[in-house]
Structure 1
């Protein structure tokens, strides 16, 4: 089973590319928080700051995803003072023109395509909660696919030309980059990465255990059974799973069941809750409802009413 492909099919992200940032150094701007911010540097270089994390140097060809920033900054050099981006263009003006320009002087120019990926459901946020504050794909990286730079160039051209249908093309291509950003976390050994199900997929035993739980969420899995299936002792398996994933096997199973349940509750025509409960490993609607409320923060009925218009 391709766990990442299955997860992405349920995550229901929607890309929205806002437009271009055209800055000439020196410059330094603070931008407001919004989940799923992405930046594509198409020319020049800059420094990116996210919350209290160290500054990250970006150059042309780099792609950055910030899953849940409190705020972020873009500046030409670390010592440049910051100002609110609204001093250059209001949010309404930027959305209308899809362009933010600032001429700081005679310094080098930087071009950035900015946008975001909306995580439209609670279960979507469950799937990305363990991502690092900055997912940085370097255009010059040794593991970047050959098509990656071509895609960035295509997006930059579409954003600047404003041709009919361009927004739809850019949004679809940006979703491909989002999948690539998620894929880049599989097996990542970066010191800045948190434990996550993505990192664990590359581990032969833990990755296989995740596959088994995702293939059969209705099965009454135990840690003993999972460890036997992947050829490990119970204690060694439990320790490695928590170290790589950041939670216990059964905690991960419960969250995955709720992701599947949330997806089923948006189906048309509606699926009975008792059927969803059985499909996700619960013997009764009552036990399912308790688990759902604990993980999702609302009852199944409330969740369904809040999401009944979602496709």
Structure 2
């Protein structure tokens, strides 16, 4: 496991909402209530992604956009094209000419396919991810509200598979589509974080250092272990002083500070589980008793674990 594995562990697509839009210019799709993370792939033609807050971005054939919700956005062939279709959550879609009363019926061309003309020249596929929890939030907050990864040769086979699979209505189709989306999301995020202007989560770029990477992987794989700086330095194969200095330089905070933050993110997600107790969560994230855990949680999160769980 590494940092990206952990951040994406809660993002596995399960029954992801797809919209395959076939259109002839001028066209525009309005996404009123996007999920925390939406992926859009331009399979044919060109378009603009127009967030309600922020600058529009043009995407071309083979480009993939990630839009961080929940703010609405519009996808259109031109900046001034009037909205023709409104997508308002998983069950409500309608053409603006006929209004919400026609939701889901008046422009459906087939399973997961929508448009006003099945022979349209432009083809745009979107999928929405439901992301919940503090671990996922560590990934979300590191992404801009809109990012675009331009067409890359490695993405083409995945997009080809997505294009062919989304039009089928065969047993197991949803599982195949979900796994394709998982692959696309990992590749897009990895490609984005490789850019100099990106701001990946704490520790992500530190994985390029083999010594610090070993310590980070150990922390993520065994968060409940009673780690000390000396033990982490031994894991990294460095002296204690060199390790502490290099870790802080590359990750942006001291080793034990990073460990505490990671434990509290895991604890926040565990506290959301039905039947979770403060004592059981404390043990799972490395605290011998609920009192010590509660103090640490309140110091980091500003409220007690029991208050957080009740809220």
- Which TM-score applies when normalising by structure 1? 0.73
Asked whether the equivalents of residues 50 and 69 of structure 1 are also in contact (C-alpha less than 8 Å), the reply is no
Give me the whole-angstrom Cα distance separating, in 2, the residues matched to 1:72 and 1:101. Answer: 18
User: Tell me, what secondary structure is at the counterpart of 2:78?
Assistant: coil
How far apart are 1:256 and its partner, in Å?
1.9
Distance 1:230 1:54 in 2: 46
| Structure 1 segment 297-308 matched on structure 2, within 5 A | 300-301=305-306
Equivalent residue number for residue 201 of structure 1? 207
Question: 1:19 corresponds to which residue?
Answer: 19
**Structure 1 residues 224 and 166, CA, compared in 2 at 3 Å: closer, same or farther?**
same
> How far apart are residue 43 of structure 1 and its match?
0.9
- The answer for the alignment partner of 1:156 in structure 2 is 163
Say which of 276, 279, 291 aligns to 2:281.
Answer: 276
Give the match for residue 223 of structure 2. 217
SS at match of 1:281: coil
Query: What is the Cα-based RMSD across aligned positions, in Å?
Result: 3.8
Matched with 1:182 is 189
Tell me, yes or no, if the aligned pair for 2:7 and 2:138 is still in contact at 8 Å.
no
- The Cα offsets for residues 18-55 of structure 1, whole Å up to 9 and x where unpaired, read as 22112222334442242111112111111223344433
Kindly report which structure 2 residues correspond to 1:101-250, keeping only aligned pairs within 5 A, or say none.
101-102=115-116, 109-139=121-151, 141=152, 144=154, 148-186=155-193, 188-191=194-197, 193-197=198-202, 198-204=204-210, 206-221=212-227, 229=236, 231=238, 232=242, 234-235=244-245, 237-242=247-252, 249-250=255-256
Following the alignment from structure 1 to structure 2, what is the Cα–Cα distance between the partners of residues 241 and 7? 16
Structure 2: gaps of 5 or more residues: 87-95
Which has the larger displacement, 59-68 or 203-212? Answer: 203-212
How many residues were matched structurally? 289
* 2:57 matched residue in structure 1: 56
Contact persistence 1:13–1:119 (CA under 8 A): no
CA offsets, 1:115-140, max 9 Å, x none? 2010133432234321232343333x
1:38-92: CA deviation from partner (whole Å, max 9, x where unpaired): 11211111122334443322222222222335222222234x2554743267594
Tell me if the contact between 2:20 and 2:126 (Cα under 8 Å) persists in the aligned partners: yes
Partners in 1 of 2:85 and 2:254 — Cα distance? 42
| Structure 1 position 254 matched with structure 2 position 260 | yes
The runs of 5 or more residues in structure 1 that have no matched partner are 307-311
* SS at structure 2 position matched to 1:57: strand
> How high is the TM-score relative to the length of structure 2?
0.73
Per the TM alignment, residue 301 of structure 1 is displaced from its structure 2 partner at its CA by 4.7
Q: 1:52 to 1:230 in 2, by over 3 A?
A: farther
